[in-house]
Structure 1
Amino acid sequence: MFLLRLILPDRPGSLGTVATALGGVSADIHAIEIVEHRRENGTAVDDVVVDLPNGVLPDRLVSACNSVPGVEVIWFSRYGAGGGLHMDLEAVEQMTSAPADAVDILVEQGPSVLHADWAALLDGTGGEVKVALETSATPEFGDLVDHWLPLDKASTLQAPAHKGLAESVLVAAPLESNRRIIVVGRRGGPEFLASEVARLSYLANLAVTIRATA
């Protein structure tokens, strides 16, 4: 599968026109998510997850989208995070079904929720910072494990010049304290948008609240 991040006119029919163009190259649309509305210039940012039949070149997806007036492809990559879009509600459902594990579940679901490659829980509440939980593909932090602590609010992070992180874009949110945070990373981009930072902040706060009910 492939993930396309598009800027398109924020008006009725725009998404349908894109879907028609993708259908013209035999793309099978698995999910569409509106990531952000940009009312200042009348555009929206949408993520589209598609699949292609064997023998169809992936470049045709970009060409199809670019053929639609007013549409721009700002990111294109294989999508290997698993699951689908609209994962926020599924993550919340899993957290509420196992309140004691709510934070761990958020870490495990973080890559799918934010279309990312990995997530990790960094814990410095006991003094020394450690990686308390990580998903597969999480890079080795080494002596950079405490690079972003303390963190007072959800935000994007600057990736240091480290072999495992140099090409990643990062977002993080504090949990019970500013020394216990969830970090989510994408290799190569796209940059995390303000709406995605807000979503992670909301889910982190919700995970803490749910766990308190256990």
Structure 2
Amino acid sequence: MVFVNLSSCFVLLCWCFVTLLSAPSVVHSLAVPPQVNRKAVMTAAAIEFVKNRNPAEALSLYNNLPASPYLWQRGLVAYCASEFEVAGKQFRFDRSVNGGDGEEALWECASLARLNRPRSELLDSLPPKGLSLNDPRAVIRDSVKLFYDFLSLPPDSSPAPLVEKLLTSSNIDTDGDKTRFYADLYVALFYESLCPSPTLAQSYLAQALNTAYGKSSSDFMVATADNMNRL
């Protein structure tokens, strides 16, 4: 008799549990994950990337955030973690709402180049004619032009004149170390992706990091250069 009562209780409990699960409010609460604290994730990821120089761990943290534009940090982290597909898609997403940012065009193009995409696709990732008209920074506009003009040349053309043009323009001498840092960084990115030369890429990264800006700033881009230097 006791066994029968216990069995009945068990059946009743099961019925109650199924009934509760079938209620829309309960199903919804079980299906929706806790809301992600975006600020906390961004802070933790930045610490991993900037302080600990750990792009792989930083990327795993950024991946907890819902896919969205305005996450250029995730793109840079993905690039430095050698996740070039992820990086390219993030920069493309960002540019869908911020098309005038020349830097995001450079990083998308570099990501595609690291994936060995055809030259035509690399050109299409850059602003028309290589003119980043909405970017107020001369060094970024000139860097975009370097990428575009090189890709427009016949294969096996020497990039040296184009690189020299960038390094002697952009108001580098008058704008100071920050501009010099960015010029060297994007020449390094150029030699790392579009015109692969590990020796030259490392040389320009070292020059960028050796500027006063590279030595003293905690800027996310300085951390990017240093993480690239560790690839």
TM over 0.5: no
Which structure has the larger Rg over C-alpha atoms? Answer: 2
**Structure 1 or 2: more helix by fraction:** 2
Normalised by the length of structure 2, the TM-score is 0.27
Normalised by the length of structure 1, the TM-score is 0.28
**Structure 1 or 2: more strand by fraction:** 1
Higher relative contact order (CA 8 A, sep 6+): 1
